[in-house]
Structure 1
């Protein structure tokens, strides 16, 4: 196969991969972020302590994370067909990709949020801040560099999952590698696909690491950041006259 024949296939496959990974990442972040925060808040000794709810959510997340992605795709075929009307193509692949990434990202969020200094939470509580205020002004802003790194890790994992999805006709670079590189013995095309995936992953990892470091340095230069902003904008507690 000549380069003029490979080029349109690879271009379309790259866009399909980015499309699947982009939408899956968005869904995983939107659903996984509150789920990860909830795992922290409902833990023992936390703001919304509920041991039963925490155990149930944790077990669901663990079970979903432990399932191999190829099995998850097959198990969700009925649900995927109900959502998208088909089990083939990039739209259909988004369903198992997103569902597989949500618990993965939620655990990363949980780890990132647990790293936040508990003293900040106590400080905001002493100023009358409720749970939503603590989440919005302390937990998420203070863990943002780690959350960026977690998102980067999720994107990289999803690129690998999307390549696996190519084995069941999802499209993308994985599909090209299987259909042409493996089944039609186009070894050169397969190695080009592998090289493209390696370059894409390296660029995403570099961008994610750069964003996380930038946010971390900016937070260090500006001092405590959200905790001081909260304290400065909050009215001082009234004291009774002697």
Structure 2
């Protein structure tokens, strides 16, 4: 019998243009040898230039998707992305409360294009999700909205502060864990406008690598390499912030 792939449940919104959200999650998980399952929280009409419309799913339907996956296929790791509403965030947190597997939480608030994807009430529920998560992966504006390094230290959570949104020729990502020295990765910035879905891709990659049994630091390191290769292999689609080249990564 062939070796079974790790089972990853991605909880996120759908990106109609295929660059981010559930579509990026499925591509990433599949390319890294995982089995992708989904609980879709919202439908979006978007492309490389921005989000045109968002339709949030009913919270009970999101819960039903999660239950269907967990009760039958089983789950080895969870990735959480865009949630769409506070009610959805609460039902997701409730369902994951006692799930004994790695959880990676990407606290999506703003799309690469600048569109707001989480209101204040939804962000308040992030506290519960960060407490449950093995790792939270905020970018620069998300970390600022969560109170910065001081705010995260007060919560005592483990997080990866990603630096792709910062200025400068180098990109610095910092893994911060309570009572442990920080681990910092610093590499030359890949100059490209095709960055749509980088956060989704990174968090899904980390979840997949954790499900494979990799230690957190190595899971992050391998996932960063995957994202960088996908950035370098972007197909050049779209007139704005185009998608990554997941399928070109070897």
Structure (1 or 2) with the larger CA radius of gyration: 1
Please, what TM-score do these two structures have when normalized by structure 1? 0.31
Name the structure where strand makes up a greater proportion of residues.
Answer: 2
Please, what TM-score do these two structures have when normalized by structure 2? 0.30
